[in-house]
Chains A and B, each alone.
Chain A
Amino acid sequence: MTETRDALAATRLERLRGGLKRRYAREMRFRMYGILAIAVAVAFLALLLGRIVEQGHTAFYAHEVSVPVYLDPAKIDPSYPQGTNFEQMVAEQQLATQGLSGDAAGPMAAEMRGLFSSELKFQVAEQVAADPSLIGQTVTFDVPVSDDADLFFKGKISRDTPSEQRRLTDRQIGWLDQMEDAGRVHSHFNARLFTSGDSTEAELAGVLGAVVGSALMLMVTALLAIPVGVAAAVYLEEFAPRNRLSALIEVNINNLAAVPSIVYGLLGLALFINWMHLPRSSPLVGGLVLALMALPTIIIATRSSLKAVPPSIREAALAMGASRTQTVFQHVLPLALPGVMTGAIISLAHALGETAPLLLIGMVSFIPGVASSITEPSGALPSLIYIWENASERAFHERTAAAIMVLLAFMIVMNAAAILLRRHFERRW
């Protein structure tokens, strides 16, 4: 008995050391797993962002070409300049510079027209309408090239591709080369992407309509979901009696947070559009649906940050003779505010990216304009991404990636706002 005890004592230190080694090895292994997990997550994120940037960065610049246009008095009716087929006129003039005219030029005019954006005819018509005295003169216009020509200049349409498989003919490529050699083509920042609404022409399409739609929608959501959510949470957490009913409500709120968003879309369609006859495709309806969706999350976040306020503060206020309302609004809620704000903004950011409910309330329709009120039809960023990705023109695909970048930037701004707000309110000790 004593011998074994002595033997144990003799090896005690060794066993301790051995055990220590195992413990450290275990810790090292765990750290490795952690680093590995983070590496995997970062790799996927980098892959995702890299792919988007790689695909989308070219959408931020576009090519323009200078086109001298002889405003032919024989073809322009000064009283109705819009009636002139400027595209055909310009194409014929361009062909004439190649020494092609008359019957030889006829079939090629369509090919030449396809190099310029349809913006050309509007620019010329506007200019003439504004100043009819220009008729008879030659004016140089800087117009966007067509989406396919733009892709060619960006190197996305290769001249090595067999002609029948590419969207530009050999002849068109020849003309584009000529224009470029003549120094008439210049690339510039694609401001149109940010200043115009959706368009069927890829080179004219922009995200402004969708950004404005998303912002209006988010405003409706925030104005509705935050006050209602916070009020509901404060009541449930601080005032509601703890009984079966409040337990039932709590379970239901938790369940609502898990309801698929498309169900909210159906609810919105039935409730707001079919029953209340609110305008379809409008940011108002979108915002209402997203508010319903964001409510449970905001309630849960608010309740948990109310719960996290130290009970000592509550006791201090109550013991000073503060009423329950005073305790909540003067002490508990201000302390919970950073958490409430963070929860609210994160659920709004979530709502911003939500697509499924928008499909059902008509926000995936093609809406070219920019909404100026919450009752006008409007697109939204996620639905714009959906529409563009499904478009057949290849030029839309780079714009899809660009729109995703805009959406991500929108979200980063919102999350940064959440962090700043939290810092700001936390600074009040």
Chain B
Amino acid sequence: MKQTIYRSQDGLEGGAPAAGVPAELAAAAQAATDPKGAAPVGPTKIAARDVSVFYGDKQALFDVSLDIPDKTVTALIGPSGCGKSTFLRTMNRMNDTIAGAKVTGRIEMDGEDINARSLDPVLLRARVGMVFQKPNPFPKSIFENVAYGPRIHGLTRSKDELAGVVEESLRRAGLWEEVADRLHSAGTGLSGGQQQRLVIARAIAVNPEVILMDEPCSALDPIATAKIEELIDELRERYCIVIVTHSMAQAARVSQRTAFFHMGRLVETGDTEEIFTNPRERRTLDYITGRFG
């Protein structure tokens, strides 16, 4: 490794928070990593090797190699423009939709190359759901929003089955109680936090294996944010979740693994607790303690 090892230079002890890490961040990270005292990290779901992304002549991501474990929340953190969203979008090939974008390297999901020509991005996106920064429900009813995925992928055989899937998805997204009596009113008429949960319900209605979240709470107030974070924690039991966030506290609260990006490179990755208490890299420490970014 060409990176300098921060810990060896400063001679910090493992386990104790590094100098300057706020105690509450470290505590939150510890709680998220080990909520029930069980091993939180599942087997590797997605393995990225030397992934680089180019937008035209500009390289946005440099040789990123990262393992993303199943049934775990992995947080991608870093300052604006560091490439974390770009990396997120390579995992469901949303970069394909941007003219002039080119992805090199290899990304495997369950050992299968997702950039292979034989793999249809439409199929991939049915397996890898995505939630965006700004809630983007379709301008249709709440029911139609959630039913959309199962419908286009032909996942249900009858109307009753579809209604069942919609209800279950809304329940899992913690929205059912709030919208059960107005399923056929506009999805865009909900509050921002409700819209974001609706979008999550829409994503899980097709029962994906991976859910990508691109700053899902940055447009929400603290109460709505708390609800989404709670939801993410519940969803972790069934899905592999990758979340991009600008909030250190959020990364510490919801994730078990954290990857820190800077200038298009992956600087450091590890257990969230480790990153927030004992980062190996000076840049990581500077970032999580708010010295830049």
Chain A residue nearest to B185 (CB atoms) is: A429
Chain A residue nearest to B135 (CB atoms) is: A312
Distance (Å) between the CB of A126 and the closest chain B CB? 62
A313, A322, A429: the one within 8 Å of B136 (CB): A313
* Contact A321/B138 with A429-B188, A429-B189 known, Cβ cut-off 8 Å: no
By a CB distance below 8 angstroms, the chain B residues around A315 are 94, 97, 132, 136
Per-position binary interface string of chain B over residues 73-117, scored 1 when its CB falls under 8 Å from any chain A CB and 0 otherwise: 000000000000000000010100101000000000000000000
Distance (Å) between the CB of A244 and the closest chain B CB? 15
B97, B132, B152: the one within 8 Å of A312 (CB): B132
By a CB distance below 8 angstroms, the chain B residues around A310 are 136
Distance (Å) between the CB of B55 and the closest chain A CB? 14
By a CB distance below 8 angstroms, the chain A residues around B186 are 429
Q: Is the CB of A316 within 8 A of B138?
A: yes
- Interface centre among B132, B149, B152, by most chain A C-beta atoms within 10 angstroms, is B152
* A424 contacts chain B at the CB level, 8 A cutoff: no
Distance (Å) between the CB of A309 and the closest chain B CB? 10
- For the complex, count residues of A whose C-beta is within 8 A of B: 20
By a CB distance below 8 angstroms, the chain A residues around B129 are 319-320
* B176 contacts chain A at the CB level, 8 A cutoff: no
* B134 contacts chain A at the CB level, 8 A cutoff: yes
Q: Which residues on A are within 8 Å of B, measured CB to CB? A: 242, 310, 312-323, 326, 330-331, 335, 428-429
> Please, how many angstroms separate the alpha-carbon atoms of A312 and B139 in the complex?
11
- For the complex, count residues of B whose C-beta is within 8 A of A: 29
* Contact A429/B139 with A315-B132, A320-B202 known, Cβ cut-off 8 Å: yes
B92, B99, B122, B203: the one within 8 Å of A323 (CB): B122
Q: Is the CB of A321 within 8 A of B139?
A: no
Distance (Å) between the CB of B1 and the closest chain A CB? 35
Q: Is the CB of A319 within 8 A of B94?
A: yes
Q: Is chain A's binding surface mostly helix, strand, loop or mixed? A: helix
By a CB distance below 8 angstroms, the chain A residues around B148 are 320, 322
By a CB distance below 8 angstroms, the chain B residues around A318 are 94, 97, 125
Chain B residue nearest to A319 (CB atoms) is: B130
Chain A residue nearest to B139 (CB atoms) is: A429
* B206 contacts chain A at the CB level, 8 A cutoff: yes
Q: Which residues on B are within 8 Å of A, measured CB to CB? A: 92, 94, 97, 99, 122-126, 129-130, 132, 134, 136-140, 148-149, 152-153, 186, 188-189, 199, 202-203, 206
> Please, how many angstroms separate the alpha-carbon atoms of A51 and B125 in the complex?
64
Chain A residue nearest to B127 (CB atoms) is: A321
Chain A residue nearest to B186 (CB atoms) is: A429
> Please, how many angstroms separate the alpha-carbon atoms of A83 and B99 in the complex?
81
Chain A residue nearest to B188 (CB atoms) is: A429
Distance (Å) between the CB of A271 and the closest chain B CB? 37
> Please, how many angstroms separate the alpha-carbon atoms of A242 and B203 in the complex?
31
- 4 extra A-B contacts, CB within 8 A, seeds A310-B136, A321-B206: A321-B125, A335-B139, A429-B140, A429-B188
> Please, how many angstroms separate the alpha-carbon atoms of A38 and B95 in the complex?
48
> Please, how many angstroms separate the alpha-carbon atoms of A330 and B149 in the complex?
12
B126, B136, B189, B199: the one within 8 Å of A321 (CB): B126
* Contact A321/B188 with A312-B134, A315-B94, A429-B139 known, Cβ cut-off 8 Å: no
By a CB distance below 8 angstroms, the chain B residues around A313 are 136, 138-139
Q: Is the CB of A312 within 8 A of B136?
A: yes
Distance (Å) between the CB of B38 and the closest chain A CB? 32
Q: Is the CB of B97 within 8 A of A321?
A: no
Could you give 13 example pairs across A and B, Cβ below 8 Å?
A312-B132, A313-B136, A316-B138, A316-B199, A318-B97, A319-B132, A321-B122, A321-B124, A321-B153, A321-B206, A331-B138, A335-B139, A429-B189
> Please, how many angstroms separate the alpha-carbon atoms of A321 and B148 in the complex?
10
Q: Is the CB of A320 within 8 A of B152?
A: yes
> Please, how many angstroms separate the alpha-carbon atoms of A317 and B148 in the complex?
9
* Contact A320/B136 with A315-B94, A429-B188, A429-B189 known, Cβ cut-off 8 Å: no
By a CB distance below 8 angstroms, the chain A residues around B124 are 321
Distance (Å) between the CB of A21 and the closest chain B CB? 41
Q: Is the CB of A317 within 8 A of B138?
A: yes
Distance (Å) between the CB of B114 and the closest chain A CB? 13
By a CB distance below 8 angstroms, the chain A residues around B199 are 316
- Interface centre among A316, A321, A322, A326, by most chain B C-beta atoms within 10 angstroms, is A321
Distance (Å) between the CB of A381 and the closest chain B CB? 39
B99, B139, B152: the one within 8 Å of A326 (CB): B152
Q: Is the CB of A320 within 8 A of B125?
A: yes
Distance (Å) between the CB of B216 and the closest chain A CB? 13
> Please, how many angstroms separate the alpha-carbon atoms of A314 and B136 in the complex?
10
Q: Is the CB of B132 within 8 A of A322?
A: no
7 smallest beta-carbon distances between A and B, as pairs: A321-B125, A312-B136, A319-B130, A321-B126, A316-B136, A429-B186, A429-B139
Q: Is the CB of B152 within 8 A of A322?
A: yes
A320, A321, A326, A335: the one within 8 Å of B123 (CB): A321
Distance (Å) between the CB of A129 and the closest chain B CB? 66
Q: Is the CB of A242 within 8 A of B206?
A: no
* Contact A242/B139 with A315-B132, A319-B132, A326-B152 known, Cβ cut-off 8 Å: no
> Please, how many angstroms separate the alpha-carbon atoms of A315 and B130 in the complex?
9
Distance (Å) between the CB of B187 and the closest chain A CB? 8
By a CB distance below 8 angstroms, the chain A residues around B123 are 321
Distance (Å) between the CB of B175 and the closest chain A CB? 17
By a CB distance below 8 angstroms, the chain A residues around B92 are 319
By a CB distance below 8 angstroms, the chain A residues around B136 are 310, 312-313, 315-316
Distance (Å) between the CB of A237 and the closest chain B CB? 13
